[in-house]
Amino acid sequence: MSNKLMIAILALVCAFGLAACSKAPAETAIKAADAALEGVRADASVYVPDQLQTVEDSLAAAKQSFEAGDYKQALAGAKDLPGKADELAAAVTAKKEELTKSWEEMQGGLPNMVEAIQSRVDILSKSRRLPAGLDKATFENAKASLDTAKQTWSEATAAFSGGNLMEAVNKATAVKEKAAEIMAALGMQVPQAAL
Amino acid sequence: MSEDKKQVPPSWDATQVHEVVKGDTLSKIAEKYYGDPGLYPQIFEANRDILDDPNLIRIGQKLRIP
């Protein structure tokens, strides 16, 4: 065997060896990233979908590099992802706390607003004429909106009971806005928290 | 929604209040808020804790308007 052939064989062996050496860490890093994301994916998709998408994109890019044989790039892309998954979990916790606080505030205040509106609507319904600044069409619209608000509030409480905090808060926020609108239309004072 | 009756934070208080000014009567207040002076008993009943007589209201009194 000539020296040139020996050198070529040695170079090939080294190249394969190096590739094998960097493939395993990259594969391990991707598996670790996958596992870390799996633990937070469901909640993150509901509470912090944009942040989750960024991490998912990074993972996809790392996998793509791995498939293309660029193990160095794959490793670089995947190695930080378990840490990003931890950040996602922390963001989910923070978002849940924020939503819970919103829900508790609205749960304490909205029934009060709706009752005040209902009381006013009941009395105005007995009135022989409407007060200055309130016409019949506006009053009828307010009554219909009140029915909608009550229905939406029922849906919000059902969502909360079912553990769907995001939906509960979204619906409660819609009730708050609707109730504030109705109160303004009926010439009522709107609570500070609903302004 | 009555199951949620709790202490309401001040910023969520939806109590409707009218502060009595000179010349006010319950009938006039009822007309202002309801369009119908004949509905003054609604206001009187909502304020029985501070009113004994619907004809006796004082300037500066804060009345709940249901």
Q: How close B25 gets to chain A, by Cα (Å)?
A: 16
Tell whether B23 lies on the interface with A, counting CB pairs under 8 A: no
Do residues A117 and A146 lie in contact, with contact meaning Cβ atoms separated by under 8 Å? yes
Q: What distances in angstroms separate CA A42 from CA A151, A157, A160, A195, B53, one per listed residue?
A: 29, 22, 18, 34, 63
Q: Give chain A's length.
A: 195
Residue with tokens 């504030």: A180
Is residue A69 classed as helix, strand or coil in its secondary structure?
coil
Residues of A in contact with B18 (CB under 8 A): none
Percentage with pLDDT > 90 across chain A? 89
What global pTM score does this model have? 0.83
Residues of A in contact with B9 (CB under 8 A): 105, 108-109, 193
Closest Cβ opposite residue A123 in set B12, B15, B39: B39
Is residue A70 classed as helix, strand or coil in its secondary structure?
coil
Residue of chain B minimizing CA distance to A123: B34
Residue of chain B minimizing CA distance to A113: B14
Q: How close B37 gets to chain A, by Cα (Å)?
A: 9
**What mean pLDDT comes out for the span A65-91?**
97
pLDDT in tens, A46-76: 999 999 999 999 999 999 999 999 999 999 9
Residue of chain B minimizing CA distance to A130: B35
- In this predicted structure, what is the pLDDT of residue A40? 97
Do residues A97 and A48 lie in contact, with contact meaning Cβ atoms separated by under 8 Å? no
pLDDT in tens, B22-64: 999 999 999 999 999 999 999 999 999 999 999 999 999 999 9
- In this predicted structure, what is the pLDDT of residue B6? 59
- In this predicted structure, what is the pLDDT of residue A5? 63
Tell whether B27 lies on the interface with A, counting CB pairs under 8 A: no
- Positive or negative, the CA dihedral A147, A152, A154, A155 is positive
Q: CA nearest B8: which of A192, A153, A142?
A: A192
